[in-house]
Each structure stands twice: as C-alpha cells, then as structure tokens.
Amino acid sequence: MLDLKTIYLSYFITCIVSFIVLLKLQFQVRKKFSGLIFLSFDFLFQCICMLLVSLREQISEFISTDIALTLSTIGILLGLIGFERFVSIKRNHIFNILLVVSFFILHYYFTYHTDSLEYRHINFLVVSLIFFLQCVWAMFVNIPTHMRSLTKNVGFVFIFFCLLTIIRIIKIESIGDDKVDYLNSGSFEAFSICVYQSLSLLLVFFTTLMVNQRLLNEVEIQKEKFSKAFYSAPYGIIITRASDGKVIEINKGFEKISHYNQQEVIGKTSSELNFWFDKKDRNTLLIELRNKGYVDEMEFKFSGEKGELLYGQISSTNILVNDEKCLLSVISDVTERKKSEEEIRKSREILKTLVVNLQIEHDEQKIDIANQIDNRLNQTLMALKMNIGVLKRKLSKIDNSESKELYLLSDTAYDIIGSTIETSLKLMSELRNEVLYLLGFLDALKI
C-alpha cells in the first residue's frame, strides 16, 4: 500500500508543474483568451492544499484540514470560472461563493463539534462534485456548438472527476471511516488520490491542447479573412522580394491593372517583366522605405503587359515571408485620372490661347477705330482749328464793328473745336491707351 503522505507530496509536485505550465500558457495568450489565469490559480491552491495535508502531523488540524480543503474548493471554483471565461460564458457565482462559505462552516463544525472524518469527507466531496458537474455542463452544454469539438476532451476529464467523486461518496457511506487516521486510511483512498493526480495531469494536457487548437482555429480564420481581403481587393497588391524584386504573390486587382496573370509574373523579377517605366524608380522606392520604414501614396510610371504606360499610386511596407525581407505594395491605378488631368491641361491651354487671340483681336479693333478717329476726325478738326486761328489773327488787325463780331464768333468756334479735339483724344486714348505716339498731335495743338 502506498503511503498517502508520499502521494500527496507527489501530487504537490504535479500541481506545481501544472501551475507553471498554465501560467506560461496564460502569458502567451493573455491578449487573445481570458480565463487561463483562474486555471493557474486553481492548481496553485491545490498545490497549497496538498502541502498542508501532507504536513498534517506537523501543523494544527485547523490549517491542515479546514484551511487546506477550503483552499481546494476555492481552487476548483476558480477552475470553473476560468473554463467558463475561456468559452465566453459570463454568469454570477454568488451561489458558488455561498457554497464555499457553507462548506467551511460545516467542515469546521464536523471537525470540532462532532469530530466526524466521514462527514468531513462527504462535505468536501459533495461540494467538489457540484463544481465538477458545472464544469461538465460548461464544456458540453452551455457553449456554442462550434466550440464543443474544442472542449469535449476537457469535458470528459471532468466526467471522470465526477464518477470518481461519486464512487468515493458511495464507498464512504457504505463502510464509514470515522475511526481511521486519514493518512493511513487504506489502499482505496491512496488509489483514489493517484487517480485524481492522473486526471489533473490529463486536465492540464487537454487544456493545453484546447488552447492551442483554438489558437490554430483563430489563425485559420485570420488567414482566410486576410486571404479573401488580399485576392478580392479592387486595387492591386503585389508581394516582391526586397533583394531582387522577385514576385512572390499578386492579387486579381494587380492582374486587372497590369493585364499580367499569375503564371506570367510569379517567380520573375520586376526587371524581367519591365514593370518599372523608369528603372531608377524602384531604387527611389527602396530608399524611401529605408528612410521612413514605409511609403505612402507615391506616384510612379509603370509598363503594362503590352508596354502601355500606366500611372500608379503606390503604398509599400516591409514584411517577412519565409524569413526573407519582402515588400508588400498596394497600387492604385490613376492612369485615367492622369489622362483626365492631361486633357484638362490641354483644354486650359487651348482656352488660354483662344482668350489671348480674342483679346488681341479686340485690341486691334480698338486701335483701328482709334486710328480712324485720328486720321479722319482729329486731323480734320486740327486743320479747321488752325484755319480759324489764322482767321482770328487777321480779324484782330481790322478795327471795325463787323470784324470784332466775326472775331468773337471765330473765337467761340475755335474753343468749341479745341474742346471737341480734347474729347476725341480722350476717347482715342481709351481705345488704344497702349499707343502713345500722339506727341506730335498734342504738340500741334499748342500752335
């Protein structure tokens, strides 16, 4: 028969290892899944319980039984909460907390008032059974259907915990063990603890598998999600090796832009495909990536399958593919926009030329009108003014009443002609203000 103290020390070591494994697992996936920290503390509390029970002969009975088994029930409750949180079950555990408090009170009563090992055993086993049954319910029933394949192995372990606990309750009820020292309570008890230890190891093993399987499922979902986003994106996406530009992968959007298909480009370099319209542009892109770590919407010229000129707006970043440095580039086709901009630029040039020509023609018409005013009207008026001026000088030399009257009339006519000439000059200058070659005409007015 195995010594129970030795078994509990072995169970203590098992719980220590399990605690470390689950704690490490918790730190690895803490940003993705919750609940594993509760499982870690479950085994930590079981570890403390095993240690206190194995020291039963060296420490007080209150610590080695009441405190130890209460820690064990708290640990099982924490395990239940951990599994529920892992499968996204949120519920109130006030009933279970009250159950733990009731267990402690009853265990204390059966220790110091009735001194019944049988009742203490049954009290602990019944509370543990209630928690184990809740774990079975959480792993098989109270979860989404698609997650049951992940949790079924853990659920089966808890079923075995329930069966073993029921068998122990039946065994204790059938024979009773009030007068037996617990650390020397027989082979059945030793065998039961060994089975609990084995089930605990299985629980850690299947929990680790469950977490890893869920991680793999999450990775597959993310992979499928990004794969669909990659291949169905309306813009072009291309992955090339940074060292030589070898094409690793392209999407449908890139095929549509460049008119290349996957078979034609994958495995070839951008130089072999003559993809860059200017070979220096790729070096410009790499320099920008090296300086900033990314490229955001830089415009380059590219060549399509038939050599046609394409304009692309490219954003690029560094990624690792099979431990090789590669470039993930997203290309938006702006060829039509560039063509539209060029058409708009040409239209503006044509419009500008038309406006200039119209202005020139308009100015020429104004100058022509000004010339006609100058040639036909102003010169005639100037000649008339000069003649009247001569008449005024001659009339001023004759001293009679008629000559004086004619002088006054000629003087009035002279002023009217002068005013008319000034008005004509003003109109002419407005028509051709850039033609300032009227100095001779103005000088003539002074005569």
How far apart (Å, rounded) are the C-alpha atoms in residues 42 and 49?
11
The residue out of 213, 229, 245 marking a domain boundary is 229
Does 129 lie in the same domain as 38?
A: yes
The domain that contains 271 carries what CATH number? 3.30.450.20
The residue out of 196, 229, 262 marking a domain boundary is 229
Does 282 lie in the same domain as 252?
A: yes
- Output the pLDDT for position 156: 95
Does 310 lie in the same domain as 195?
A: no
- Output the pLDDT for position 389: 72
Mean pLDDT by 10 residues, the chain (447 residues): 77 92 87 86 92 84 88 94 89 92 91 81 92 94 84 94 93 66 67 90 94 87 80 83 85 81 82 79 83 82 76 85 85 78 78 70 64 63 70 68 68 74 68 45 43
The domain that contains 43 carries what CATH number? 1.20.1070
- Output the pLDDT for position 442: 44
Does 302 lie in the same domain as 160?
A: no
Give the residue numbers spanning the domain of 288.
Answer: 233-333
- Output the pLDDT for position 73: 94
Minimal CA–CA distance to 388: which of 346, 367, 417?
Answer: 417
- Output the pLDDT for position 348: 78
Residue 407 burial (10 A CB sphere; 0-12, 13-18, 19+): middle
- Output the pLDDT for position 155: 94
Does 310 lie in the same domain as 184?
A: no
Does 132 lie in the same domain as 51?
A: yes
Counting the structural domains of the chain, the total is 3
- Output the pLDDT for position 359: 63
Does 262 lie in the same domain as 376?
A: no
Angle between helices 148-175 and 117-140 (to 10 degrees): 160
Does 47 lie in the same domain as 159?
A: yes
- Output the pLDDT for position 196: 92
Does 80 lie in the same domain as 205?
A: yes
Are 24 and 204 within 8 A, CB to CB? Answer: no
Cα angle: 307, vertex 311, 313; to 5 degrees: 140
Does 141 lie in the same domain as 25?
A: yes
- Output the pLDDT for position 363: 61
- Output the pLDDT for position 365: 64
Does 421 lie in the same domain as 279?
A: no
Does 435 lie in the same domain as 403?
A: yes
The residue out of 307, 333, 359 marking a domain boundary is 333
- Output the pLDDT for position 94: 94
